[in-house]
Amino acid sequence: MSSTHLMADTATSSSGLLIRRITPADLARALASGWDDFDAMPSHAVFLCLIYPLLGLGLVLLCAGYSMLPLVFPLAAGFALIGPFAAVGLYELSRRREAGLDTNPIHVFDVLRSPSIGAILALGLLLTVIFVVWLVVAEAIYVANFGYGAPTSIPQFVKDVFTTPAGWTLIVVGTGVGFLFAVAAFMIGAVSFPLLLDRDVGSAVALWTSIRVVVANPLTMALWGFIVAALLVLGSLPFFLGLTVVMPLLGHATWHLYRRAVDSAGAPRAEIQPNLIVRPRRSAADFPAALFPTPRDINFGGG
């Protein structure tokens, strides 16, 4: 059974998934719905979205040494490659809210019990591999232009990149190659992870469906990619802290974009875990404890 979820025949299993034509107006509605989800479910940022900027800060600090300085920008830019996988818990919360179920932050962990968890991890691993390969290629491009010597200082590194022919070559080639990696990751993750949560399909079907959505709506999806990139850049300032808002917004919006772009009524629906949380009314004086469920809040009977 798990192997079926991991890899499924695209010729037969994708027949029940119809791709819709979407417009920029659909992107605007998806963003609006994403913001509405974030406004209704803000507390999950404590559990998921702070991890992302803190990881970014840690990686930047790790690369603070001059020998690793050339990889700081590729690392920051590469976050967009694994973003669709990092936001999978947000898709689950949007799915539950759409179904009228409890949306306590603890339900982000329902993904671990999804029948498609193997396929989700497989596609997540694929995006991670793309991310690692991008870092290797980015370092090779730097070495090809500046050699193996480490920058002597941050000001000198900035000057070399922006005022020398080797630096201009680095910018042009690096941006072009990075764009190709971004396109590959975008086509893989555009709607594949929300689809895996919503429907009982395999990773091959999800991957193929995501590609079909991009191919069927090239201009609209290109605009969506630009919006995602622009928001991630804005969210990275200052010091990645803006991602605590940008990440949930994009995560929830991606769920709603999937719902607009894919008619999945013909595919079997994945089981939604029952309500495990019964939250009593709490006052503002309970903050921040109100963000965390207590043992007495948990109803393992599913009622």
pLDDT in tens, 70-128: 887 888 777 788 889 988 988 999 999 998 888 887 888 888 888 889 999 999 999 99
Torsion of CA 106, 247, 95, 111, to 10 degrees: -50
Q: What pTM value is reported for the model?
A: 0.79
98 burial via Cβ count (<10 Å: 0-12, 13-18, 19+):
middle
Q: Looking at the predicted structure, is the pLDDT value of residue 15 above 60?
A: no
pLDDT digits (tens, 9 = 90+) for 29-75: 999 999 999 988 875 555 555 666 666 666 665 556 667 778 878 88
Closest CA to 24 of 220, 240, 157: 220
Closest CA to 222 of 22, 76, 50: 22
For the chain, domain boundaries: 16-272, 277-303
| Neighbour count for residue 234 (Cβ, 10 Å) | 12
Asked if 151 and 157 touch (Cβ cutoff 8 Å), the reply is yes
Task: Identify the pLDDT of residue 71.
Answer: 80
CA distance 168 to 159: 11
